[in-house]
């Protein structure tokens, strides 16, 4: 349970601090807590937007919320960089982790998918994938669990 709480603190903390980091990257001095509170508000507003991920609406909101801190000419660039780091970089990193995990799992199974027996009738991987060990029963060669 503690690990799940820590993982969520890390995930949401990164989302909330991202706005301040992008501002610093643009060379803008702004109060950490001011930007953090604005991005907490922004993130929770995005959950109620009718578009996936608040697309379009998120960029308008971030531009409106950050206008007191940024010159007008930098608002579009800020919104674009913020969205790239918030959505696309995290999705790409997660996709890379998933592909690595799937390829490792595929190598471990010898190319078989869970539930697929080999020609010799080996059910070891299939049973292992669901957390059980298959053993032949005494009568009829059936598998009991």
Helix/strand/coil for 50: coil
β-pairing, 143-144 vs 135-136, is antiparallel
Residue 74 pLDDT level (bands cut at 50, 70, 90): very high
CB 127 within 8 A of CB 133: yes
Task: Report, in this order, helix, strand and coil percent for the chain, each rounded to 5.
Answer: 65, 5, 30
Answer whether 62's CB lies under 8 Å from 20's CB: no
Contacts of 36 (CB under 8 A, 6+ apart): 16, 17, 19, 20
**Each residue's pLDDT tens digit, 127-136:** 455 555 445 5
The reported pTM is 0.64
Q: Where are the domains of the chain?
A: 2-108
pLDDT digits (tens, 9 = 90+) for 28-56: 999 999 999 999 999 888 888 877 767 78
């Amino acid at each position: 349970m503690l690990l799940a709480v820590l993982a969520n603190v890390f995930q949401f903390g990164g989302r909330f601090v991202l706005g301040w980091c992008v501002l610093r990257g643009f060379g803008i001095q702004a109060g950490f807590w001011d930007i953090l509170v604005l991005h907490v508000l922004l993130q929770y507003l995005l959950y109620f937007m009718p578009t996936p991920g608040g697309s379009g609406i998120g960029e308008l909101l971030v531009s409106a919320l950050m206008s007191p801190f940024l010159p007008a000419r930098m608002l579009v660039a800020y919104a674009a960089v913020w969205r790239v780091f918030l959505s696309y970089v995290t999705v790409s990193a997660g996709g890379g982790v998933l592909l690595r995990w799937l390829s490792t799992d595929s190598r471990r199974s010898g190319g078989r998918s869970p539930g697929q027996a080999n020609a010799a009738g080996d059910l070891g991987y299939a049973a292992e994938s669901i957390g059980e060990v298959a053993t032949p029963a005494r009568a009829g060669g059936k598998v009991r669990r």
